[in-house]
């Protein structure tokens, strides 16, 4: 087992309290903890980038879901990429770059079975948390496998300037959608959707009711809605969908910090007359698409036809603030935290 130097202790983020409504910095605690030497079959990884994602908000609640809640007073976890510094596992050597699930800490000791080697020469490491990682596969599988995008479809995506949404819009365009409309939360994001990501139209959902702005952007209606937001966005999309329209229910971020039941959509019954398909999706069901996704999206990245935008926050100590900023909409593309050297 070849080894590089690892410190005796390192920092990790713990869940200090379960939020009521919007999370606050005091819900997180930065803790110094021992760095464990890897046992048989394990590796020790120095994390280089951490992912902060909207689903982590749900894990702060003590509610059973498709993924277990974070434990109070224990380290949080999530996507991370880093370099192996010590290995007691066959096939892994110091210096290997790996993707794994023990984020929110500077160093991670884990069973090598839960790590995937990634190629830092093929793409920047952070891309494996974003455009070539979980959000990328979510966009690709959600649009193509769940949404069954067809050439000529008119597509609307909410959360369009985020990690998933920015890729949904770009992939829809590359796959021949006849209209791609996106919504986002600032004038700057809206401008970037049209100028840099090739959306046909975009609007700021804070400017006026979503239904009005969607009707102006897609006067003939839409065939496919990719929902990252829920609430009034979903209600507006149900109104705009044509007969046999499809809605991919990927996320409902507008409701993640709500303490009361949502007011919208009020028109869900329209799904009947229009014979709509509203289909929930979880990216974990679509692992089989991974090779096709990496080949196709990787190709578009290399050719420059698709952009994998990132917002990078520097410093492990800023990870909790980066997560809170993500919920507030400070990011364009994938929000990642870069650790120091």
Minimum Å gap between C-beta 38 and ligand NAP is 30
Size of the site for ligand NAP (CB under 6 A): 30
Q: Which is nearer to ligand NAP, 92 or 323 (CB)?
A: 323
Angle at 327 between CA 267 and CA 337, to 5 degrees: 145
Tell me 196's DSSP state. Answer: T
Q: Which is nearer to ligand NAP, 66 or 219 (CB)?
A: 66
Phi, psi angle pair for 39, to nearest 5°: -90, -175
Residue 329 interacts with ligand NAP (CB under 6 A): yes or no:
yes
Residue 118 interacts with ligand NAP (CB under 6 A): yes or no:
no
CA atoms within 13 A on the CB side of 198: 17
Residue 184 interacts with ligand NAP (CB under 6 A): yes or no:
yes
- Exactly one of 186, 267, 290, 292 binds ligand NAP (CB under 6 A); which one? 186
CA distance 54 to 312: 16
CA distance 186 to 204: 6
CA distance 116 to 151: 34
| Span interacting with ligand NAP, options 159-167, 215-223, 262-270, 291-299, rule CB under 6 A | 159-167
- Exactly one of 224, 281, 297, 319 binds ligand NAP (CB under 6 A); which one? 281
Of residues 250 through 279, those in contact with ligand NAP by CB under 6 A are 250-251, 253-254
Task: List helix spans (H) across 18-102.
Answer: 55-59
Give the residue among 260, 197, 212, 205 at the shortest CA–CA distance from 228.
205
| Span interacting with ligand NAP, options 4-12, 89-97, 235-243, 246-254, rule CB under 6 A | 246-254
CA distance 320 to 25: 7
Q: Which is nearer to ligand NAP, 87 or 166 (CB)?
A: 166
- Exactly one of 47, 87, 109, 331 binds ligand NAP (CB under 6 A); which one? 331
Minimum Å gap between C-beta 328 and ligand NAP is 7
Q: Which is nearer to ligand NAP, 33 or 330 (CB)?
A: 330
Of residues 27 through 86, those in contact with ligand NAP by CB under 6 A are 53-55
CA distance 225 to 202: 14
Task: List helix spans (H) across the chain.
Answer: 55-59, 134-141, 163-174, 187-195, 210-217, 231-240, 270-273, 290-303, 319-328
Residue 324 interacts with ligand NAP (CB under 6 A): yes or no:
no
CA distance 138 to 290: 10
CA distance 186 to 329: 9
Q: Which is nearer to ligand NAP, 92 or 225 (CB)?
A: 225
Residue 222 interacts with ligand NAP (CB under 6 A): yes or no:
no
Minimum Å gap between C-beta 74 and ligand NAP is 22
The answer to whether 165 touches 189, Cβ cutoff 8 Å, is no
Minimum Å gap between C-beta 274 and ligand NAP is 23
| Span interacting with ligand NAP, options 2-10, 83-91, 112-120, 182-190, rule CB under 6 A | 182-190
Phi/psi class of residue 104: alpha, beta or left (left: φ > 0; alpha: ψ in -120 to 50)? left
* Binding positions for ligand NAP, rule: CB under 6 A: 53-55, 135, 138, 159, 161-165, 184-186, 189, 205, 228-229, 250-251, 253-254, 281-283, 326-327, 329, 331, 335
């Amino acid at each position: 087992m070849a080894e590089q130097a690892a410190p005796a202790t390192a920092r990790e983020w713990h869940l200090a309290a379960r939020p009521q409504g919007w999370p606050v910095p005091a819900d997180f605690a930065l803790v110094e903890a021992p760095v464990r030497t890897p046992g048989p079959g394990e590796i020790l990884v120095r994390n280089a980038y951490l992912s902060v994602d909207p689903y982590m908000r749900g894990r702060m609640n003590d509610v059973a879901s498709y993924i277990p809640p974070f434990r109070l007073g224990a380290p949080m976890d999530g996507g991370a990429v880093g370099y192996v510094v010590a290995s007691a596992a066959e096939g892994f050597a110091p210096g290997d770059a790996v993707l794994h699930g023990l984020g929110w800490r500077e160093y991670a000791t884990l069973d090598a079975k839960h790590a995937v080697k990634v190629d830092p020469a093929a793409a920047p490491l952070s891309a494996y948390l974003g455009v070539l990682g979980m959000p990328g596969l979510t966009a690709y599988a959600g649009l193509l496998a769940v949404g069954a995008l067809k050439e000529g479809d008119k597509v609307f995506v909410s959360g369009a300037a985020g990690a998933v949404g920015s890729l949904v819009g770009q992939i829809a365009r590359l796959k021949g959608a006849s209209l791609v409309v996106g919504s986002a939360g600032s004038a700057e994001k809206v401008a970037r959707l049209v100028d840099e990501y090739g959306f046909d139209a975009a609007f700021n959902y804070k400017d006026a009711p979503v239904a009005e702005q969607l009707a102006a952007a897609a006067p003939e209606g839409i065939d496919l809605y990719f929902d990252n937001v829920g609430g009034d966005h979903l209600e507006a999309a149900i109104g705009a969908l044509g007969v046999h329209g499809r809605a991919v229910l990927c996320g409902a971020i507008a409701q993640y910090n709500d303490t009361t039941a949502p007011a919208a959509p009020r028109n869900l019954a329209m799904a009947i007359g229009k014979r709509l398909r509203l289909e929930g999706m979880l990216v974990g069901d679509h692992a089989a698409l991974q090779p096709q996704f990496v080949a196709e999206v990787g190709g578009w990245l290399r050719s420059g036809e698709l952009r994998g935008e990132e917002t990078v926050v520097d410093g492990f100590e800023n990870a909790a603030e980066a997560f809170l900023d993500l919920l507030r909409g400070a990011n364009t593309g994938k929000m990642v935290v870069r650790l120091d050297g």
